[in-house]
Structure 1
Amino acid sequence: MGQYNAAIIGLGIMGRRMIANFAKHPSFKIASVWDPSKKSMEKTKADFPDIHFSETPEALINEVQPDLLYIACPPEFHKQYALKAIDAEIPLYIEKPLGVDIQESESLVEILEIKNHINAVNFVQASSEAIEKVQLLLENNELGDITGVDIILQYHQWPRVWQVEADWLRFKASGGYIREVLSHFIFVIERLFGAAKVNFAQPTYPDDPKLCETHLQAKLECGAISINIFGSVGGNGPDRQEITIWGEDKSVRISDFYLLEISEGDKWSSLVKHKVDPRSETLQRQLDNIIKLLEGHPQPLADARTALSVQKIIERLLIA
């Protein structure tokens, strides 16, 4: 295993988080970064003064020539930077969602597949220990017949306090928690139970037509398994992000993406013991799998075709 040069386009919350995680991983180093926002570039320079900053995305791709390009800008810009990397034959690591325009994403996936271009989309649950354990429980039929799945997302405010600098997240055009968070859970149910179909969706929007959704009630099906979704914004209390898989013998619940619990009766018991911060731990596992992807080894990462399936469901759920 060698050391790979990673470059980043997009220096918002996820871009800066991934700078730290790439730097922590022994097989990666940051070759260069770029963002169209002067403010984001300056904030990144303050946090990471020793890394290289490119003047343009073209310079980052064509002059730096990294081994991997991580795209972390808002999703409507993913395709334009991905195409530049494809032309330069640079493997792609794209932040989810893949995009917001279905036709654009279909075109991108077609190009990636025709050219057999190395790519992954950052659904971190692909590398989650919690999902690995749930897959084993399902394969061994330890939960019994699955009677249903519930997904609950509840936020005191959206964007959340730590996200407010990413102002685009509050707008309908490309933001909202359905795209930003629910997409992770749609990836999970399709990974565990196969292709999902939307039976019913009722999103609620504010009076301002530019703003993103506040509430969602929806029902999906994965084969014979019903998936119930409830989302809301507002009210004082802790945020909730959880998926519960109800089985006739045992049930499991994943909270905040990483915390796995199991129940055989009237209480939940933890199944995963994290030694460090679970977010960082899972991102390091994700980068381990990116190495496997680059070196041609089997790995569980989501590719663009998988992400397109998720995107189609998400965009359907957003139709009032």
Structure 2
Amino acid sequence: MTHRLAIIGLGIMGRRMLDNVLQHPAFEVSGVWDPSAESVAKTRQVLPGVAIQSSAEAAMAGADAVYLACPPGPRKAYALQATAAGQGVFMEKPLGTDNAQSRDLVAQLAKGRLPGVVNFTQAASRGFEELHRAMAAGEAGEILGIDILVNYPAWPRAWQKDADWLRLREEGGYTREVISHFLFLAGRFLGPLTLQQASPRYPQDPTLCELDMLARLTTADGKPVTVMATTGGQQPDRQEVTVRGSRMNHQFREFFQLWRSDGGPWVEALDWSTEDPRKSALQRQLSEVDLWLRGQPHKLATAEEALAVQELVEAMLAGKG
């Protein structure tokens, strides 16, 4: 028995998820929609057989669950509409940019037939699985802290330019879009985080998002999570999250690569010779969505976890200390 999944939002992430849903045996696409004629045209070009509805309501009708890949602004309204119809809500992050509104959303999602879940794409990844294994086996030793390092020559990145809202301070910025993933990672492995200090740097144009972000967070027992993120200059994109252990460090690069070091050179912890890491992550996520829809234990991020990340992110963007 397959689940009928509606997709609202056909930007980069929506099209990527749509392609993966069509390849996953547990799902069928019940409807898709986007208000942008350009996004619709790109979807038809890549996936010409997909029927695109005339409205979000038409796309959502009859679905078992709704995947929301739209910008943060309209996300709450669609999520509540789906919840009222008894549909599961699987959404992109952030939940929103207004913490009070997002707290209300989480409270309302909790009353639905299924608790809402959020697409932090590393949650079911092979990298998370391997790090959990190494920690449980004692190979990493005591976890001492996590360092998050991000460098982009420009934001948004070239492949994200179609999503113009990503460059704007109101809803966009890489702290919301990228660093949130790594704060989720830190929370999963270290527990709840508290922001101690944050120093964002913004351009002169008040409508544009952050240029740099420096921040320090701590766990309940004082373990540090540090963030250093910058934009500008000429180099490849750099996204590294180092989980420091007393016996072994593990480092995520580009989300899905996992490396490790016991003091010597970094070596790859995973073999990707037989599968594509990005496709693997989304297929594994969809398998967890299948478990969630069947009421079974799953690895997906809860709406409560996503809210905790959002509150940290918005505090970082406001600056502290």
Q: Partner residue of 1:79? A: 76
Cα root mean square deviation, aligned: 1.2
Q: Partner residue of 1:15? A: 14
Letter of the 2:293 partner, please give it: L
- Provide the rounded CA distance (Å) in 2 between the counterparts of 1:249 and 1:281: 29
Shift of 1:67: 1.5
Q: Partner residue of 1:258? A: 256
Contact 2:84/2:112, CA 8 A, preserved across alignment: no
- Provide the rounded CA distance (Å) in 1 between the counterparts of 2:106 and 2:139: 36
Please list, as runs of the form range in 1=range in 2, the aligned pairs for 1:1-320 lying within 5 A after superposition. 2-62=1-61, 65-223=62-220, 224-274=222-272, 275-320=274-319
Shift of 1:92: 0.9
CA deviation profile, 1:242-274 (whole Å, cap 9, x unmatched)? 110112211111111111111111311111112
Letter of the 1:182 partner, please give it: I
Shift of 1:116: 4.6
Contact 1:61/1:88, CA 8 A, preserved across alignment: no
Letter of the 1:87 partner, please give it: A
Contact 1:152/1:230, CA 8 A, preserved across alignment: yes
Higher mean Cα deviation, 191-200 or 297-306?
297-306
Aligned residues: 317
Letter of the 1:197 partner, please give it: T
- Provide the rounded CA distance (Å) in 2 between the counterparts of 1:309 and 1:228: 17
Letter of the 2:144 partner, please give it: T
- Provide the rounded CA distance (Å) in 1 between the counterparts of 2:289 and 2:155: 31
5+ residue gaps, structure 2, are none
Contact 2:148/2:225, CA 8 A, preserved across alignment: yes
Q: TM-score when scaled to structure 1? A: 0.96
CA deviation profile, 1:25-72 (whole Å, cap 9, x unmatched)? 11212121111112222222222221111111122223xx11221000
Letter of the 1:22 partner, please give it: V
Letter of the 1:160 partner, please give it: R
CA deviation profile, 1:116-138 (whole Å, cap 9, x unmatched)? 53421000111011111112222
Contact 1:118/1:294, CA 8 A, preserved across alignment: no
Letter of the 1:279 partner, please give it: R
5+ residue gaps, structure 1, are none
Shift of 1:87: 1.3
- Provide the rounded CA distance (Å) in 1 between the counterparts of 2:69 and 2:271: 29
Higher mean Cα deviation, 38-47 or 77-86?
38-47
Letter of the 2:283 partner, please give it: Q
Letter of the 1:73 partner, please give it: C
Contact 1:8/1:33, CA 8 A, preserved across alignment: yes
Letter of the 1:290 partner, please give it: V
Q: TM-score when scaled to structure 2? A: 0.96
Shift of 1:115: 3.0
CA deviation profile, 1:271-316 (whole Å, cap 9, x unmatched)? 1112221011110000011000111111111111111011000111
Contact 1:4/1:29, CA 8 A, preserved across alignment: yes
- Provide the rounded CA distance (Å) in 1 between the counterparts of 2:237 and 2:29: 33
Identity of aligned residues (%): 41
- Provide the rounded CA distance (Å) in 2 between the counterparts of 1:49 and 1:136: 42
